[in-house]
Amino acid sequence: MRNKNSFFLTVGCFAVTAILLLAMLSDGFAFVPQKINYQGTLSDSGGTPVTGSVTMVFSIYSLASGGTALWTETQSLSVNNGIYNVNLGDVNPISLPFDTQYYLGVRVGSDGEMIPRQTLTSVGYAFKAQEADSASDLSCIGCVSQSELNFTPGTITGVTAGTGLTGGGTSGSLTLNLDTTTLQGRVSSSCAVGSSIRTINSDGTVICQADTNSGGTVTSVGAGAGLTGGPITTTGTLSLDFAGTGSATTASKSDHNHDTAYQRKYGKVAVVAQSGGDYTSPVTAMNNLSSWCGAPSETNLCLVKIMPGVYDIGNNSLNYNLPYVDIEGSGEGITTITGDIDTNVQIGLHPQGVLTGFSEIRFLSVENTGGGTNAIAISLKYGKLKHVTAKASGGTNNYGVYCEQNDLSISDVTAKASGGTNNYGVYNLYVGGAMTNMAATASGGTNNYGVYNANFSTPVMTNVTAIASGGITSNCGILNHISAPTMMNVTATASGGAISNGVYTIAGVNNQSPIIYPVMTNVTATASGGTNNYGFMNSNSSPTMTNVSAMASGGTISYGVYNESSTAKINHSVISATSASIYNGNTSTCYVGNTQLDGLVSGSNFICVGAYNGSYLPLNSSCQ
């Protein structure tokens, strides 16, 4: 047989060069595979390509002919149409130093070794790269900052000890990183001080680029420091990370002063952590705001970043009643701020909670354990709350979230209030904006309100669950007092007490306040277990109710919808109650269209179109 391998050896060696180079550099020379990839073709004496299993013996010599094999191994290979591929060293790892010229001999079965032997090219000598572990050449420090190196497959030359190449791929990039612990290699070039290597071409030539990023020019970096970030562009930024005892001569590491291209949202950041941060207390961080942030503004947004842990601030409110300062934890239940703050709740005087003010509060849990008159977990003035759990208890009046005079933006929030006399999961006073994906719970007090919308509040409530239970006097899932919210995909539940209301909308008493017009779509209101139970109670209001479900049961009286001095429009809904599905009293009018009334109506002034009862029998125009 004969081995036609010169063309495939070249291709194989080229592939080996790429594979070995990337493996050595990405692993920091900690491990170099003791193998060489080799490809060739095999044909019989007549020139016909061989197909089948063939036993082949491979040997490495220091001479082109004669001499003794320095390494040898036998492998059984699958040959297809003459083509075969083998990793030399799979059976017997190659441990040669590759510090001289070597030659590869090939023998098939019991045949003699083929001639001539193949000359091993530079791929095999990649094993010599292991000796870079003991190199100490750092002469290139200062000529390389950080680069994005685009290249095509081929051999990168000019890499010596002092820097390392990572990354790669046929269309990827290489990154230069200084490493004084594991000396990897460096790219030598004529780049002047104040410029960096931009690209290594496939022919090994180096292209430099001046460091003109907006963060300043890095001209020199001392031993022990590494540059990360980039790539270097007109707007890019490099970060200086100190890894040893060296120092940077002209570059520096500046706390709380990130370049805008690196941190586009925040001008300044303070880190609060149990250890290793800028502060150990969020209160101290806020008290020192001017020192690390300066004057917060639209162009100088400030962030207090709180790492995992429980931070007890006692009776010191974490208070910042101006915009442009955000506070961010590391996740609900991961970062928790607790306090026992008592405050004065009065219209026009924004009360203090454990957290008060801030432009945005997110990714944490807040708890006020009370002990005084008013316990507020979070008091919003600027109204941005995301992924937060707020709990209040132990006060006479407890508020999970208290919002006053703002256009709020609350999303993915859990608010809880319990104990005391009056509990409010969420309390809104003169507010608009949006409440989305929220759960509000109030329990255990004399009066409990899941969500309380007061004094002309008009929030848009979407995907909200409000629960009130355990109160002695009153439990109300959602109370709209002189307020007209827009409610979509809302569930309101109330149970127990003397009065239980799923949704209670009231504009005042004896027409002392203007009529309000709340809009309710896909709302479920349930009331049970109280002496008097009302799914929906409308007083001096004109709600539009579409696709609602009202249920009331138990107690002395239970009404699905109770209208008093109100005009209600109910469409495509289901109303079910043990006393009456709908009650109209005191000059109320109720329009009902395409709705199931499971239970008799009570009162007068009903106008029904397409209504039917629980047995699916049609009702007349008076809902009878």
Q: In this structure, how many other beta carbons lie within 10 angstroms of the beta carbon of residue 427?
A: 30
Helix then strand then coil, in percent of the chain rounded to 5, is 5, 45, 45
Q: Which residue has the tokens 């495509």?
A: 572
Which two tokens mark 459? 């929030």
Across 292-296, 505-509, 585-589, least confident range: 505-509
Confidence label for 479 from pLDDT (cuts 50, 70 and 90): very high
Q: Is the pLDDT of residue 46 over 70?
A: yes
Work out the average pLDDT over 19-43: 57
Which two tokens mark 390? 């707020």
Residue 355 C-beta-side C-alpha neighbours within 13 Å = 34
DSSP 22: H
Q: Is the pLDDT of residue 20 over 50?
A: no
Supply the pLDDT for residue 22.
Answer: 30
Distance of CA 359 to the CA centre of its chain: 20
Confidence label for 68 from pLDDT (cuts 50, 70 and 90): very high
Supply the pLDDT for residue 531.
Answer: 95
Strands 447-454 and 422-429 come out as parallel
Confidence label for 105 from pLDDT (cuts 50, 70 and 90): very high
Q: Is the pLDDT of residue 172 over 60?
A: no
Across 7-11, 218-222, 480-484, 503-507, least confident range: 7-11
Q: Is the pLDDT of residue 160 over 90?
A: no
CA distances to 63, 89, 122, 426, 545 from 377, rounded to whole Å, are 83, 67, 69, 10, 33
CA distances to 186, 273, 283, 285, 383 from 280, rounded to whole Å, are 41, 5, 9, 8, 26
pTM: 0.59
Q: Is the pLDDT of residue 583 over 70?
A: yes
Q: Is the pLDDT of residue 121 over 90?
A: no
Supply the pLDDT for residue 110.
Answer: 87
Cβ(483)–Cβ(516) under 8 Å? yes
For 425-450, the pLDDT digits (tens) are 999 998 998 999 999 999 999 999 99
Confidence label for 266 from pLDDT (cuts 50, 70 and 90): confident
Which positions ≥6 away from 61 have C-beta within 8 Å? 67, 68, 69, 70, 102, 103, 104, 105, 117
Strands 549-553 and 574-577 come out as parallel
Supply the pLDDT for residue 578.
Answer: 94
d(CA 59, CA 116): 13
For 142-152, the pLDDT digits (tens) are 343 333 334 34
Confidence label for 47 from pLDDT (cuts 50, 70 and 90): confident
**Greater pLDDT, 478 or 265:** 478
Instruction: Of 260, 208, 198, 266, give the one whose Cα is nearest residue 235.
Output: 260
Across 37-46, 359-368, 462-471, 614-623, least confident range: 37-46
Q: Is the pLDDT of residue 93 over 60?
A: yes
Across 191-205, 461-475, 544-558, least confident range: 191-205
Cis status, amide bond into 518, omega within 30 of 0: no
- One-letter-per-residue 3-state SS of 444-469: CCCEEEEEEEECCCCCEEEEEEEEEE
Residue 100 C-beta-side C-alpha neighbours within 13 Å = 8
